[in-house]
Chains A and B, each alone.
Chain A
């Protein structure tokens, strides 16, 4: 059985009296350590699919299994622990907290962990991750003092802070220049290779998608092989 199993999942949103189907009867198995890319037009349901896998919105029908467990049978607290300790998120925009420095933003997910590692270790790890994304000199900078690309890189580093088994990345390099985009992609591939972290990455960039092991296309809420 795969690490992630999406079993006949559908998701409808109700807007006034209308039901809008964002994901339709999607089924997918993703093995541990895979690097999967999802491509598709805007509004095709990619972000909703990531949210379903990430335990952020429950499906209208179907199941989402993580290591064999249906995550939507879990309590709210267990789902939070799953998001905190098993999954690293990279949103479409940086989504940093404005009153925390770059380093504090990285350390925030650690504060939500049930079992915390020693403080000193976390600080060093945050420094190392910021160094890895090229922001060693911005450790104490607030988001407002960073460019859009730098903020995006802080958010990328934050996703790795709790050593997640799974990274869900929603157009993670959207704000980056070509050179930095390539550097970040190399970073992702290295983390995938060295740590066995599973990646599911939504992207519009077909060059980036070609570098992944499995490519899936979404069209009008349905999954198709790319």
Chain B
């Protein structure tokens, strides 16, 4: 027996080209939505995770090196910058500062100084460190000795440190890679870590230019409980002209600002696609309403209620919307995977979207597609629902 479902499916199959165009439009909208949401979520999430996992409330870097520091931390870029170690004492003297530790950034050059691919080498102070140790000790369980190194999670993979106890040449010195860090979701994942006590030998090797024995790259600060890191950052910048400071919540501000512009472009794209899809659905369903008004009149005359007509057409519109949305989700996910590699900012991000984040994006996009489809068809369907059956009889 024909039910409203079988009747609706027969109607959908009646004009395959028209159905296909509608599904394609909805799929296009949904794929744009999935791509945009994935992009924005991935960048936002990556910045948030990086700052959360940093372990410091404040970053002090040489003047004008703020951007470079963000790029190292958030985008895995390879950069160096230096300031004098004495700045540490001046920072320590500022009110609100609880603990601090320093790091020195070095860059390897394959074949010239080192046997590992070009990457960041970070020398850290094992006595004061509170940044690397939490990620390190579960793997190594001891203090790093001279000539020992550990690699960030991704570097470990890259240089096959899964084979622990492998020796590498770093700046003219042989380093034994004794372990790897857990995944931090920050730029640290692509770096190699050594103890600060190795620096004199490295400097003596002459393989690192522009690095003096009293140079450091960054001071990482923990503030006292209840103190606002932003006020300490302001205090650093007011009192130490050679340094810039960023509170944890400000890390990634530059990227977020760029991202906001990109988000606006994506939003505009999605709004335009939504408007286009809405009018396409409206136009096609208006045509369907005109074309099938006689059929609706017949159905009303033989006993269909307004709710039957509504149900019939909403099944049709929902099937088209759901199918289009599902195609769009698959296409959007595919686009995100393929095209996002063309965006430097995304390619260098250290975090991927989790399954639950992907599910939320898919659900939001799915709903978006289905709702646009239903809204577009609403007015023509309402008009059909109100149709007087006499029209059929008079039209004969």
B388: Cβ under 8 A from any A Cβ: yes
Contact A112 B308 (CB under 8 A): yes
B10: Cβ under 8 A from any A Cβ: yes
Which residues in B have their C-beta under 8 angstroms from that of A69?
Answer: none
B392: Cβ under 8 A from any A Cβ: yes
Chain-A contact segment, one of B164-172, B220-228, B298-306 = B298-306
Chain-A contact segment, one of B1-9, B20-28, B53-61, B237-245 = B1-9
Interface residues of B in 375-396 (CB under 8 A from A): 388-390, 392-394, 396
How far apart are the CA atoms of A111 and B11 in the complex, in Å? 16
- Least distance between A45 CB and chain B CB atoms (Å): 12
Contact status of A92 and B389, CB under 8 A, knowing A108-B302, A112-B305: no
Interface residues of B in 274-318 (CB under 8 A from A): 294-295, 298-308
Nearest B residue to A122, CB-CB: B1
Task: List the interface of chain B (C-beta within 8 A of A).
Answer: 1-4, 7, 10-11, 14, 294-295, 298-308, 388-390, 392-394, 396
Contact A111 B396 (CB under 8 A): no
Of A48, A89, A95, A112, which contacts B304 at CB under 8 A?
A112
Contact status of A89 and B301, CB under 8 A, knowing A100-B10, A111-B2: yes
Contact B306 A76 (CB under 8 A): yes
Which residues in A have their C-beta under 8 angstroms from that of B389?
Answer: 51, 56, 83
Of A47, A91, A122, which contacts B301 at CB under 8 A?
A91
Nearest A residue to B3, CB-CB: A111
Contact B301 A111 (CB under 8 A): no
Contact A57 B303 (CB under 8 A): no
- Least distance between B296 CB and chain A CB atoms (Å): 10
- Least distance between A139 CB and chain B CB atoms (Å): 13
Contact status of A51 and B390, CB under 8 A, knowing A91-B301, A111-B4, A162-B303: yes
Which of B2, B303, B388 has the largest number of chain A CB atoms within 10 A? B303
Closest 8 CB pairs of A and B: A84-B303, A112-B303, A92-B396, A57-B390, A80-B305, A56-B389, A104-B2, A93-B396
Contact B393 A51 (CB under 8 A): yes
Count A-side interface residues using an 8 Å CB cutoff: 38
How far apart are the CA atoms of A99 and B316 in the complex, in Å? 15
- Least distance between A177 CB and chain B CB atoms (Å): 20
Pairs A–B under 8 Å by Cβ, sample size 19 = A47-B393, A50-B393, A56-B300, A80-B306, A83-B301, A91-B301, A91-B392, A91-B396, A92-B393, A92-B396, A97-B295, A99-B11, A104-B1, A108-B2, A108-B7, A111-B3, A111-B7, A112-B305, A162-B303
A170: Cβ under 8 A from any B Cβ: yes
How far apart are the CA atoms of A40 and B117 in the complex, in Å? 99
Of B1, B10, B305, B394, which contacts A76 at CB under 8 A?
B305
Interface residues of A in 108-151 (CB under 8 A from B): 108-113, 119, 122-123
Which residues in B have their C-beta under 8 angstroms from that of A63?
Answer: none
Of A84, A89, A100, which contacts B7 at CB under 8 A?
A100
How far apart are the CA atoms of A158 and B6 in the complex, in Å? 19
Contact status of A56 and B390, CB under 8 A, knowing A107-B1, A111-B3: yes
Nearest B residue to A87, CB-CB: B303
Which of B301, B307, B396 has the largest number of chain A CB atoms within 10 A? B301
* Residue interface mask A163-174, B partner, CB < 8 A = 1: 000000010000
Which residues in A have their C-beta under 8 angstroms from that of B3?
Answer: 111
- Least distance between A133 CB and chain B CB atoms (Å): 17
Of B7, B303, B306, which contacts A81 at CB under 8 A?
B303
Which residues in A have their C-beta under 8 angstroms from that of B396?
Answer: 91-93, 95
How far apart are the CA atoms of A169 and B28 in the complex, in Å? 50
Contact A97 B14 (CB under 8 A): no
- Least distance between A158 CB and chain B CB atoms (Å): 7
- Least distance between B7 CB and chain A CB atoms (Å): 7
Of B4, B294, B388, which contacts A56 at CB under 8 A?
B388
Of A56, A96, A110, which contacts B393 at CB under 8 A?
A56
Contact A85 B303 (CB under 8 A): yes
* Residue interface mask A22-57, B partner, CB < 8 A = 1: 000000000000000000000000011011001011
How far apart are the CA atoms of A98 and B11 in the complex, in Å? 10
Of B1, B14, B307, which contacts A99 at CB under 8 A?
B14
- Least distance between B134 CB and chain A CB atoms (Å): 67
Nearest A residue to B308, CB-CB: A112
Contact status of A112 and B302, CB under 8 A, knowing A51-B390, A100-B2, A100-B7: yes
How far apart are the CA atoms of A92 and B396 in the complex, in Å? 6
Which residues in A have their C-beta under 8 angstroms from that of B7?
Answer: 99-100, 108, 111
How far apart are the CA atoms of A51 and B304 in the complex, in Å? 16
How far apart are the CA atoms of A59 and B200 in the complex, in Å? 104
Contact A83 B302 (CB under 8 A): yes
How far apart are the CA atoms of A164 and B361 in the complex, in Å? 53
Which residues in B have their C-beta under 8 angstroms from that of A84?
Answer: 302-304
How far apart are the CA atoms of A112 and B1 in the complex, in Å? 12
Of A47, A80, A119, A123, which contacts B300 at CB under 8 A?
A80
A77: Cβ under 8 A from any B Cβ: yes
Which residues in B have their C-beta under 8 angstroms from that of A96?
Answer: 298
How far apart are the CA atoms of A98 and B14 in the complex, in Å? 10
How far apart are the CA atoms of A95 and B389 in the complex, in Å? 12
Nearest A residue to B388, CB-CB: A57
How far apart are the CA atoms of A50 and B392 in the complex, in Å? 13
- Least distance between B217 CB and chain A CB atoms (Å): 74
